[in-house]
Amino acid sequence: MNYPNGMRKRVKKKPKSSTKIAYSNRGMSLEEDINVTNSYYLETNRAVIHKKPTPIQIVNVNYPKRSAAVITEAYFKQASTTDYNGIYQGKHIDFEAKETKNKTSFPLANIHEHQIRHMNAILKHGGISFFIIRFKEHDETYLYPGEKIVYFWEQQNNDGRKSVPYTSIQKDGVLIPFKYQARIDYLSVVDQLYF
């Protein structure tokens, strides 16, 4: 750039960023996306699916004023099962939602044994049970059947892998596309796999 006095002013160019910006999730967490999706399903009368509350026992509450009560001490009454359950097309649906930063696998350490037992019980009684797994680094969300997770869990207990390979999730799971109203339209995948 030249100024009227003839002196040159050097303008610094902004360096090009080598990282790709992902706009699809716009800062939403997986649970928030599923909650928005479930609200849409409920409003459109497609399904009734809710997040299960975590059962806690409140021990101590601070009451500076009634409208500002704060729980200061609590503990879990019992181990929770899965994150979500409900009914769709006359079938019980029960699933867990998990996010991972891992690029190559989903660690089984993210799952508890009581959750596997619960999923097994749902499957044995004819219900639909699965995991929704988001790979943050790939910006991908998959529906992965409960039977597959149970298989890897049992293999782990017999000196097998301690994780589910990303390639297995790609092969045996179904990629859930990000949409506007039903952000994580997992019921479309449920239709594909179970109906």
- List the binding residues: 81, 83, 96, 115
List the binding residues for Mg(2+).
Answer: 81, 83, 96, 115
147 close to 123: Cβ distance less than 8 angstroms: yes
